[in-house]
Amino acid sequence: MSTRTDSTRHDAAYDPYASVRETTEGKVFTVTGQDWDAVAQEIAEVAEERVVVNMGPQHPSTHGVLRLILELDGETVKDLRCGIGYLHTGIEKNMEYRTWTQGVTFVTRMDYLSPFFNEAAYVGAVERLLGIEDQIPERAKILRVLMMELNRISSHLVAIATGGMEIGALTVMTIGFREREKILDIFELITGLRMNHAYIRIGGVAQDLPPNGIERLRELVAWFKKHLKEYAELCNENPIFKQRLSDIAHLDLTGCIALGATGPVLRATGYPWDLRKTQPYWGYETYDFDVVTWDTADAYGRFRIRLAEMHESLKIVEQCIDRLEATPGPVMIQDKKIGWPSQLALGPDGLGNSLDHIRHIMGESMEALIHHFKLVTEGFRVPAGQAYFAVESPRGELGAHVVSDGGTRPYRVHFRDPSFANLQSAAAMCVGCMVADVVVAVASIDPVMGGVDR
């Protein structure tokens, strides 16, 4: 016989839904928010040692749609299993019914905290299949790096903010979301949207910086240099914060390699694995930045890595701004059979294609109109084959495996999402710890369930 609880017990006298019932698994306690001591006392009367608790999927500390099935002995975790699939969208399957370019609008919605990295992995794989990697304009590559590094900062801000919230450090949460708003404003300035951008396109990017883009970016960098240090002042040597995170959710290098964990989880063991250095792409080898590592292999080390990586990303953003000023040119491949939609730019009304482009395809050239129509509705063909392209996302290695049968739509697309891989390590981190430390462990992994379920 086993004993299960579903949250925290309420007495049936005043909560008719909080009852105790017998099932094939044993006695089940429906628990809804009372003190844990009441549950422990009830369980002790049953003389059962094994208690199975469902944490989530609605609990905010389990990132909304993650279910953790905990087997407890008192408050000590004896086993942990992750229940996933509550956010399944079928994105990978849906992409088989859309053109190659339309696929970008799907993948940007997977890991919704780092959409540019989803776009980058997919676009990089398609460009590899097309054989056009060396034809991407230099300015487009710089813009891609710029947007990804800004996105890395915004994603780490959410990781630190929500992690702080889950252990009661509400000031960390409020300033984290304050800083993130600044970056989302820049995303909106450049792409027109705060999320779901579809900005990184096959062959380049959707559009160039607006006229005041460089100025706004420099203002953002100056603002972040002033405010990022607040996290270090609040948390780094805070004895309460350190005690809550240090030696919690430990996972050494052997465990990371065995479970396929990457990103801050892996680098917290001291192993400097970062695809921007080990397998560079889009000119990352030409940027000056350091791979941040830590040597504690615990939740505190992962926090310190994310904090330091924001400073390194800010260094890369500064270099991108300097290069953009010195690198004019197009932001989309010159091959008109691939660049889609060709010559996209904001018009005087702030929306849609440039008037010059509309005038050309609608009033000057029937051939241009026909080509534009076919390119947008049918799409271009990608040679048969398969390719894998990986980028270093805020959570680790994010890779896209793309298969083509020679048509205008993908035959198969599959993502190697770091949230999915890293979440496997939750059990290894939590077995033997206390119930309260499970929340810290999950927060230190920083899983985004849109990337897990796809």
Task: Report the pLDDT value the prediction gives residue 399, as an integer from 0 to 100.
Answer: 93
Q: Average pLDDT for consecutive 10-residue bins of the chain (454 residues)?
A: 42 48 58 64 65 71 74 83 85 91 90 91 94 91 95 91 81 86 92 88 88 91 88 79 85 92 92 93 92 91 91 94 90 80 51 63 72 77 93 93 93 93 90 86 87 85
| Predicted pLDDT at 345 | 52
324: nearest Cα among 219, 220, 217, 224: 217
CATH of domain 2-83: 3.40.50
Number of H helices, E strands in the chain: 19, 11
State pTM to two decimals: 0.85
- The vertex-395 CA angle with 398 and 423, nearest 5°, equals 95
**Which superfamily does CATH assign the domain made up of 91-340+379-453 to?**
Cytochrome-c3 Hydrogenase, chain B (1.10.645.10)
Closest alpha carbon to 85 in 112, 113, 43, 57:
57
Helix (H) or strand (E) holding 215: helix 213-227
Contact status, residue 415 vs residue 110, Cβ threshold 8 Å:
yes
In one letter, which amino acid is 259?
L
Domain coordinates in residue numbering, the chain: 2-83, 91-340+379-453
- Tell me the CA end-to-end span of the chain in Å, nearest whole number: 37
